[in-house]
Structure 1
Amino acid sequence: MTHVTTTTPTTVAGDGGRTAREASPGTAAGGPRRRRPGRIRRVSLPYLLLLPALLLELLVHLVPMAVGVVMSFKELTQFFIRDWGAAPWTGLDNYQVAVDFDAPVGEEMLHSFLVTVVFTVLSVALCWLIGTAAAICMQDAFRGRGLLRALFLVPYALPVYAAVITWVFMFQHDNGLVNHVLHDQLGVTDKPSFWLIGDNSFLALLTVSVWKGWPFAFLIVMAGLQNIPKELYEAAALDGAGTWQQIRRITLPSLSAVNQVLVLVLFLWTFNDFNTAFVLFGKSAPAAADLVSVHIYQESFATWNFGRGSAMSVLLLLFLLVVTGVHLAVTSRGRRTRARV
């Protein structure tokens, strides 16, 4: 008589009676676990999708940045433009000339830097103030709110050249709309003012920058307001809090994270802004509106000293990196402090 021996699959303890074969699918008896090809594809897919963007970032930003750093250590003038690799090395001479504030080049660079700092602080503050006020006013639903929101975003949606060139015509001395309103209609000024030259050029530049930048602050703050529960305002109203108290105690604290990112982005954009001043004043900006970006352009393409202009660009990059690092350190420390409390 032939005896048939049957084997019962062993179960894994504490696993609801699952068999050892079921507990380790895809493995041979006693062999190592193999990673499925589909899992490898799923893990590598995000990196493959990011690869084109990383290559474009490398070609558009990182490579020119590295070339600019190399150029800052060379005496790259108009005599070496055809073969800039043959320009002699100067070491840190270009940087020393740029930061020598007793010499004419360094003095002009310092003046341009201070003008840019004042301009950036005022522009960012006004953009944030106007954008936040408009977003708060647009928070409650009313008839025509959608149309107003669309109109508020028009300056931000317009191309820079089309927007700024319109202001150039408005700031004209003889037939500009600004002088017509201020002098002819309202009588605020004794005579028509020159807005594109002299000291008034700073006000003209600030006006255009704020007009062009505040819709972005409005858009970001308006998106942040959507995340604040309306129950907080209802509870505050029941406790007798007025509108200003609700804004100060609920709205602004709830928007702190949004405002931190918004202020940093506005600062970087405004400090680096070249298009607005260039379209408004041309290649040579007045001394009162001589921004760093325009000054570096003039140093590079007007005097044909690309080595010194590259050194100034590197110094500007280092300054913005320091400001960004300090801002991130302060904001992260503030978040940790609030988390402990």
Structure 2
Amino acid sequence: MTATAARRPAASGPGAGAAGAGRPSPGPAGARRRPRIPARLRKIGLPYLLLLPALLLELLVHLVPMVIGIWMAFKEITQFYIANWGDAPWAGLDNFALAVDFNAPVGEALLRSFFTTCLFTVLSVGLCWCVGTAAAIFMQDNFRGRGILRALFLTPYALPVYAAVITWAFMFQRDYGLVNHVLTDQLGLTGERPFWLIGDNAFVALLTVSVWKGWPFAFLIVMAGLQNIPKELYEAAAIDGAGVWQQIRRITLPSLAPVNQVLILVLFLWTFNDFNTPFVLFGDSAPESADLISIHIYQSSFVTWNFGSGSAMSALLLLFLLVVTAAYLLVTSRGRKSSDG
């Protein structure tokens, strides 16, 4: 019987699984029972899954300190409550009222710093854009040594900020600095050596360093945008008799409009919030002519030890930048839609 059963073929049919060892037979039916994630859901969820680590780090690095800073703006945190911020009394809107009271010394100083920052930002962003755009257009032509010149143009952007600004601080020294040596001793443009890091000239020194440090970024972005402009447009314009300035005005600048909209916004935000450049150049006590709002808030928080007032100023600055950014994006988007239509 054993040998006969061994030679007998295995049973087949619907009841074969039940007559066997009690395990369901593998096959399509068993595979359909396993839960599967739809392919469309996997395709949509994978990008968000890959972005999750970056979102968590963004939450920890930016959003959490921002929320804590806004909470501090409603507290009367001074040097007496540094050890335990929770015991600081609730100030409500008093810190904000003190900051916007332009008849009081605190509000008057903040308003003067705000206007100084606006003027500095407009000049710095405008000069960075002009120099970067001119250099990018110049670099479009093929000539010997163009690659080396491009690398030299990007050097200020590649250097660490602290090393570059400290070098400029030595160059702006009155007695032994390179700037006064060239202007006074070599060119004879000034009768006596001027002070660059104090007084009214501090604004010029700060603007010079900011433009020197920021224009390579504009050069890099504009140069990348120029690669998307077809050369046939310039060839057709040259055949029609258009000169270089007409080609730049009629072809280059309109084609670079989307790139310039993003570039100007980024430069504006970077320049308006710049803290490293004035702090390294002047220290924690910037001259009045170069008292940017970032260094002013630092002085209000860490020099006078009034963290509540400094946090209120930071919250007002954040609100101002959000309003300006939203208005800028709204205006530029409407202009783009009208031009497309």
Aligned pairs for 1:8-87 within 5 A: 36=37, 40-87=41-88
Q: Is 2:103 the counterpart of 1:102?
A: yes
Tell me the equivalent position of 1:289: 290
Distance 1:70 1:263 in 2: 31
The number of residues matched between the two structures is: 312
Q: Counterparts of 2:200 and 2:72 in 1: how far apart (Å)?
A: 35
Q: Which amino acid aligns with 1:82?
A: A
TM-score, normalization by structure 2: 0.89
Query: Which residue of structure 2 aligns with residue 16 of structure 1?
Result: none
Regions of 4+ moved over 3 Å: 34-43
Is 1:269 aligned to residue 270 of structure 2? Answer: yes
**Amino acid paired to 2:218:** A
TM-fit CA distance, 1:302: 0.1
User: Counterpart in 2 of 1:125?
Assistant: 126
The residue that corresponds to 2:252 in the other structure is 251
Secondary structure of 2:192's counterpart equals: coil
Distance 2:58 2:218 in 1: 26
Partner SS for 1:331: helix
Q: Separation in 2 of the partners of 1:245 and 1:41?
A: 51
Cα distance, 1:46 vs structure 2: 1.6
Residue matched to 1:23: none
Deviations 1:139-163 (A, max 9, x none): 1111100000000000000000000
Aligned to 1:165: 166
Could you say which structure has the larger radius of gyration?
A: 2
1: distance between equivalents of 2:100 and 2:263?
31
Q: Give distance in 2, aligned partners of 1:125 and 1:83.
A: 45
In 1: Cα distance, 2:283 partner to 2:162 partner: 12
Note the aligned Cα RMSD (angstroms): 1.7
Per-residue deviation, 1:168: 0.5
Deviation at 1:210, TM superposition (A): 0.1
Once the two structures are TM-superposed, the CA of residue 167 in structure 1 deviates from its matched residue by 0.3
**Residue 193 (1) aligns with residue 194 (2):** yes
Q: Where does structure 2 lack aligned partners over 5 or more consecutive residues?
A: 1-27
Q: Which residue of 2 aligns with 1:135?
A: 136
Q: 1:109 to 1:36 in 2, by over 3 A?
A: closer
1:57-99 deviations in Å (ceiling 9; x for gaps):
0000000000000000000000000000110111100000000
**CA–CA distance in structure 1, aligned partners of residues 165 and 212 of structure 2:** 10
Distance 1:38 1:187 in 2: 75
Q: How does 1:144-163 map to 2 (within 5 A)?
A: 144-163=145-164
Give me the whole-angstrom Cα distance separating, in 2, the residues matched to 1:247 and 1:42.
Answer: 44
Q: How many angstroms does 1:36 deviate by? A: 4.6
Asked if 1:330 corresponds to 2:331, the answer is yes
Sort the Cα spacing of 1:221 and 1:93 in 2 relative to 1 into closer, same or farther, 3 A: same
Q: Following the alignment from structure 2 to structure 1, what is the Cα–Cα distance between the partners of residues 324 and 67?
A: 21
Q: CA deviation at 1:283?
A: 0.7
Question: Which SS does the other structure have where 1:46 is aligned?
Answer: helix
Distance in 1 (CA, whole Å) between partners of 2:329 and 2:169 is: 37
Q: Percent sequence identity over matched residues?
A: 76
Tell me which residue corresponds to 2:5: none
Give the residue type in structure 2 aligned to 1:146.
Answer: G
Quick one: which amino acid aligns to residue 197 of structure 2?
Answer: L
CA distance in 1, matches of 2:236, 2:38: 56
Deviation at 1:335, TM superposition (A): 1.0
Residue 91 of structure 1 aligns with an amino acid whose one-letter code is G
> Residue 241 of structure 1 corresponds to which residue in structure 2?
242
Gaps of 5+ in 1: 1-26
Q: Deviations over 1:228-281 (max 9, x none)?
A: 000000000000000000000000000000000000000000000000000000
